[in-house]
Amino acid sequence: MPFASSYRIIKSTLWYSALPETQALRLGTPTAETLGDRVRMVCWNVYKVVRGGAMADLAALSAEADLMLLQEAVLHGAQPHQLHLTSGLEWIMAETSGHARRGITTGPKTGCRAPCTAIASLRSLDQEPIVGTPKTSLLTRYQTSRGPLTVINVHAVNFVPLPKFARQVAQVVELAAGDNGALIVGGDFNTWNPSRHRCLMDAMQRAGLTRVPVTAPRRWRHFGQQLDHVFVRGMKVVEARPLAHIVSSDHIPLRVELALD
């Protein structure tokens, strides 16, 4: 499905650097035609899967989830890993940055038991100052027993001034505004100071999204602030908890169960 017809993109070109759908990779095969009225999901920055035990933890979490939102996912040579073939999920990955000499691609990756029916990926206009790469928001859509569910997987710019962070948050808000149905927005928002946190919370509240009440233990926070968040619209929270026993990344996985209204 071409990008233009798969999602009604907002026309505020000032805010967007759109990636063509050809830069979104499909990996694995879904095992369900649709999602049910309850969705078990995990949101996790996997730290490029460089720590010991990360792949085993990822496989275990994927086996119990209907929906996986990963940030800092990595793909070697655009080839599917065994996890993509055995998890029962279809994985959509937006290619944010590639390391040509090593054949490595990193970016957000979303996995779901149901097939993806629409894809849109938007690159931030601002780049990280040290590595010189942008961050990407990945939109995917799925059919459920009660209608479509839109998911936005976000990895926010980190070491930049607040106005640049706010500009990417505005991207996400405008992307969310293009859909009126059930919606999940989750990811690593790098809200490591109170100003960033307020900027994000105010923007999501104005957009009609509610933060899922899941709090990371203090040892998983940065400068006392939580980095990872999940927001919803048109869904109720059944359960939400951090998985503090998983230490194979520098971020904690957030496990959430949601019910469609």
Assign 78 a pLDDT band (cuts: 50, 70, 90).
Answer: low
Average pLDDT over residues 100-123: 84
Amino acid type, 249: S
Q: Can you give the pTM of this predicted structure?
A: 0.90
Check whether 241 has a pLDDT greater than 80. yes
pLDDT for the residue numbered 82? 87
**Into which CATH architecture does domain 18-260 fall?**
4-Layer Sandwich (3.60)
Check whether 189 has a pLDDT greater than 50. yes
* Least trusted range by pLDDT, from 2-11, 45-54, 66-75: 2-11
Output 123 or 248, whichever has higher pLDDT. Answer: 248
Average pLDDT over residues 180-191: 96
pLDDT for the residue numbered 137? 92
Average pLDDT over residues 248-255: 95
